[in-house]
Chains A and B, each alone.
Chain A
Amino acid sequence: MTMRSKNHRRWTSLLAAGALTISIAACGSDDETTDATEAPAATEAPAATEAPAATEAPAATEAPAATEAASGDAPKLAVVYSAEWQDGSWGEFAYDGANQLLADGAVSAVELQENVQPGADAQNAMRALAEDGFSPIIAHSFNYGDDVKLVASEFPETIFVYAGGFGDVAANVGDYSQPFFEAAYLEGILAAGAVDGDVAGAGGFDIPVCRAMKNAFLAGAQELDPDTTGTFVAVGDWYDVQLAKEAALGQADQGATRFIGCGQGPTFGQIEAANEIGGVSMGYVGDMSALGESVLASFTWNLGAVFQLMVDDVVAGKTEAQYYEVLLKDGGMDIVINPAWESKISPEAMTLFEEKLAAIQDGSFEVPFDAES
């Protein structure tokens, strides 16, 4: 072997090792641990104007509870997520919800880890968090189910919760509800009062939460427009916006003008499609009014209230998790109507919307959950 060949191999090894080191470092989760005494997150939380709950969170310096919590009596909360927090939707509301609890002094520390891929990465992350004394540990994606169950069996005193959305509870593994179908029903009423046409639902995959959203949206629209029909398409990916947009345009070709998405990618795709064809679309977990003229209404998710239930269980010394559910009547969600659309929604639809909202809030009406058709 010549000297040059040896040099080449040496360079190759160095480059490969360097590249792998950089990629591992770059792909690793972005950790963000915040103590209540430091409380920078608490001051950041109000900046997220999309989260009504977060905007109500007082600055840590003004909150005696936060300094009290710093004594260490309050639990330490951890949330892991498979994408970035800054997604304007699902991730961002978890970020705001966790920081809200810190600002309120309900927890003594918050650990937020983004870009943690389901599988070995998630398992390692959750093991490390459990060893560091975090409880509850919240895995903020449906895809973490298997990882949570595996790691939870190794730490029976720690409460683990993941975003299953269908009551998948066993021992110290909990699940939290995503009752978006309630908001979808009300949005369906608004949509029927804004444009004519059929209903189009889409989700990353055909899971009960998504299917129920579309069915509730259709049921809401049928309150004013009984003849309207609807279809549901599973895009096959939660983040493929182009595929989602094409799915929505396909549904539009078949007469759909009222769109509701489940998941960030499907929703963004539907908004773009609705913008193009002159239909109406709904924002998903976050006020998406700024994303296009087609956005008629959105719903926000008060994840701080959901996380609070988990923290309460830890404070009470429980080691058995539950199905944590905060419905619309309990302040779990808010409907935000795009101001640009307020004057274009028929008075009949607005009246019915307000009646049904009031009925849901006082408990006299329950939106039917239908994840089958």
Chain B
Amino acid sequence: MDAVLSIDTLAAGLRLALPVALAALGALLCERSGVLNLGLEGLMLCGALAGYLVTDSTGSPWVGLFAGLVIGGLCGALLGGAVVYLAANQVVAGLAFSLIAVSATTYVYEGSYDIGQSPPRIERISMPPLVILTLVVLGIVVVLLRSTLSGLVLTATGESPVAVDALGYSVQRTRFFTTIGGSALAGLGGAVLVCGPLGLFIQNVTAGRGWVALALVVFAGWKPVPCVVGAFLFGVCDAAQLRIQGTDTGVPYEVFLALPYVVTLVAMVVRGRRSRTPATLGVAFHRSTA
């Protein structure tokens, strides 16, 4: 049991948490402005593939991270254009994007290497710079939301778009650019996964981390610091359950596999009473009918 309650477990939790935390911060921004970004899993995958391919061709994982950020933002522009300006159903558009992204990234990846060829491992970034990067992103999101006019407008757009519109701010432009920014962070999260702990890409490499990030936003009550703390908690639970399996407990392993989800569920139930969903989350804004 000493192996479970150790610094190594916390370090492993941190490694597991970083990609999810960045994606969750991206989702949080989108949701605070009223856009339910269900394309998060697909955005992470696109960012991961971009990070991998660019690092492979340039030799610099930092350039790979930047590529993940940019591709995430570009995909966010596509998604944002659909759900904000065309008022597409946010659930359908987000899910469709994630489905397409799984296939598209597989297609591009397959086309990049011949069958029978071993895709190369890429240069990786060590954990300390990635931890600092995540904390910097967290700091920017906190300052943006708490201490800037833009952050206030962003939050108000999710709560009362009519009031924001009446004050002369553009609801659609705010949501569009927030979706781009949030999606860029999700892409960065995917790139961090590939350019940080892994150094490789395989089909569906994110393995559902985007969906976990979406749940974390609810768990965190749409607040950035609890969002990152929740990602760390989830990561530590995952790291702990893997280590507990290595000890002879006699408990079925399925119980341990469920541990992170049980902890998240309990935390959401406990925190649920105090959480406050953005009032117009998932609702398109039509100025003419507002």
Using a CB–CB cutoff of 8 Å, the interface residues on chain A facing chain B are: 2, 4-5, 8-9, 11-12, 15-16, 19-20, 22-23, 26-27, 44, 47-51, 83-88, 92, 95, 115, 206, 231-237, 239-243, 245-247, 249-251, 253-254, 264-265, 268, 272, 288, 290-292
The answer to whether B54 has its CB under 8 Å from any CB of chain A is no
- Closest chain A residue, CB of each to CB of B94: A19
A16 in contact with B118 given A23-B96, A26-B103 (CB within 8 Å): no
- A5-B286, A272-B198 known; A16-B92 Cβ under 8 A: yes
Distance of B171 from chain A, by nearest CB (Å): 14
B200 contacts A19, CB within 8 Å? Answer: no
**Residues of chain B lying within 8 A (CB to CB) of residue A250:** 3, 8-9, 12, 239, 242-243, 246
> Roughly how many angstroms separate A371 CA and B2 CA in the complex, as a whole number?
28
Chain A residue contacts of B9, Cβ below 8 A: 250
State whether B203 touches A87 (Cβ < 8 A): yes
A-B contact count (CB 8 A): 155
Q: Could you tell me the distance in whole angstroms from the C-beta of B15 to the nearest C-beta in chain A?
A: 7
With A11-B87, A250-B8, A268-B200 known to touch, is A47 a contact of B116 (CB < 8 Å)?
yes
- Write the nearest CB–CB distance from A266 to chain B, whole angstroms: 11
Given A92-B115, A239-B205, A250-B239, A26 and B200 contact (CB-CB distance below 8 Å)? no
* The one of B93, B113, B200, B207 that contacts A86, using a Cβ cutoff of 8 Å: B113
In the complex the two chains form, what is the Cα distance from A254 to B92 in whole Å?
46
Contact check, B288 vs A2: say whether CB atoms are below 8 A apart.
yes
Query: Do B202 and A15 have beta carbons less than 8 Å apart?
Result: no
Q: Given A27-B99, A92-B116, do A246 and B198 touch, yes or no (CB 8 Å)?
A: no
Between A and B, 26 residue pairs with Cβ closer than 8 Å are: A8-B86, A8-B284, A11-B86, A15-B82, A19-B88, A19-B92, A22-B96, A22-B100, A47-B116, A48-B116, A50-B116, A84-B110, A88-B119, A233-B245, A234-B245, A239-B202, A243-B238, A245-B197, A246-B239, A250-B243, A253-B8, A264-B202, A268-B200, A268-B202, A272-B198, A290-B118
Chain B residues numbered 92-131 whose CB sits less than 8 Å from any CB in chain A: 92-93, 96-97, 99-100, 102-104, 106-107, 110, 113-116, 118-119, 121
Q: With A92-B116, A292-B121 in contact, is A23–B100 under 8 Å at CB?
A: yes
- Of A12, A241, A253, the contact of B200 (CB 8 Å cutoff): A241
State in angstroms the CA–CA spacing of A83 and B102 once bound together: 11
Q: Which of A9, A12, A51, A87 has the most CB of B within 10 A?
A: A12
- Check A241 against B205 for contact (C-beta < 8 Å): yes
When chains A and B are docked, how far (Å) is the Cα of A233 from the Cα of B200? Answer: 22
Given contact pairs A11-B86, A254-B3, a sample of 16 additional A-B residue pairs in the complex whose CB atoms are under 8 Å apart: A5-B288, A12-B88, A15-B86, A15-B88, A26-B99, A26-B103, A87-B203, A234-B253, A235-B242, A240-B207, A241-B200, A243-B16, A246-B242, A247-B245, A250-B243, A253-B8
**Given A2-B288, A250-B12, CB of A236 within 8 Å of CB of B202:** no
When chains A and B are docked, how far (Å) is the Cα of A26 from the Cα of B102? Answer: 9
Leading 4 A-B pairs by shortest Cβ distance: A19-B96, A26-B103, A48-B116, A240-B207
Q: Are B253 and A206 in contact (CB under 8 A)?
A: yes
Which one, B113, B121, B246, contacts A254 given CB within 8 A?
B246
Main secondary structure of the interface of A (DSSP, over half): helix
Q: Is the CB of A265 within 8 A of B202?
A: yes
Does B257 touch A at the CB level, under 8 Å?
Answer: yes
Q: Which residues of B contact A26 (CB under 8 A)?
A: 99-100, 103-104, 107
Interchain CB contact (< 8 A) of A19 among B100, B107, B199: B100
Among A44, A247, A291, contact of B121 (Cβ-Cβ < 8 Å): A291
Q: Does B170 contact A (CB under 8 A)?
A: no
Residues of A within 8 A of B288 (CB): 2, 4-5
Residues of B contacting A83 in the complex (Cβ-Cβ under 8 angstroms) = 203-204
The residue in chain A whose Cβ has the minimal distance to the Cβ of B112 is A86
In the complex, what residue of chain A is closest to B19 when comparing beta carbons?
A242
Whole-angstrom CA separation of A35 from B113 in the bound complex: 25
How far apart are B92's CB and chain A's nearest CB, in angstroms?
5
Chain B residues within 8 Å of chain A by Cβ, number: 54
Residue in contact with A16 in the complex, picked from B88, B202, B246, B289, CB distance below 8 Å: B88
Q: B118 and A291: CB pair below 8 A?
A: yes
Q: Is the CB of A233 within 8 A of B92?
A: no
Q: Is the CB of B242 within 8 A of A243?
A: yes
> For the complex, what is the distance from the CA of A19 to the CA of B243, rounded to whole Å?
42
Residue numbers in A under 8 Å from B100 (CB-CB): 19, 22-23, 26-27
- Decide: A2 and B16 in contact? CB cutoff 8 A: no
What residues on B are CB-neighbors of A265 within 8 Å? 202, 207
Q: Which residues of B contact A5 (CB under 8 A)?
A: 286, 288-289
B202 contact set on A, CB distance < 8 A: 87, 239, 241, 264-265, 268
Closest CB of chain A to B124's CB: distance in Å? Answer: 9
From residue B254, how far is it (CB to closest CB) to chain A in Å? 8
B89 adjacent to chain A (CB < 8 Å): yes
Residues of A within 8 A of B3 (CB): 250, 253-254
Nearest B residue to A12, CB-CB: B88
Mask, B183-221, CB within 8 Å of A = 1, is: 000000000010001111011110100000000000000
B147 located at the interface, meaning its Cβ lies under 8 Å from any Cβ of chain A in the complex: no
Enumerate chain B residues within 8 angstroms of A4, measured Cβ to Cβ.
Answer: 286, 288
Please give me the residue from chain B that is nearest to A250 by CB atom: B243
Chain A residues near B198 (CB-CB < 8 A): 241-242, 245, 272
Contact A234 B257 (CB under 8 A): yes
Closest chain A residue to B258, Cβ basis? A236
Pick the most buried of A20, A26, A206, A251: most chain B CB atoms within 10 A of its CB.
A26
Contact A249 B12 (CB under 8 A): yes
**Interchain CB contact under 8 A, A84 and B207:** no
Scoring B residues 34 to 48 as 1 if CB is less than 8 Å from chain A, else 0, what string do you get? 000000000000000
Which residue on B lies nearest to A4, using beta carbons?
A: B288
Residues of chain B contacted by A44 (CB below 8 angstroms): 115
Do B246 and A12 have beta carbons less than 8 Å apart? no
> Are A27 and B93 in contact, CB atoms less than 8 angstroms apart?
no
User: Are A253 and B103 closer than 8 Å at their CB atoms?
Assistant: no
A233 touches B286 (CB 8 A): no
Per the bound structure, the CA–CA distance linking A310 and B99 in Å amounts to 35
Shortest Cβ distance from A46 into chain B, in angstroms? 9
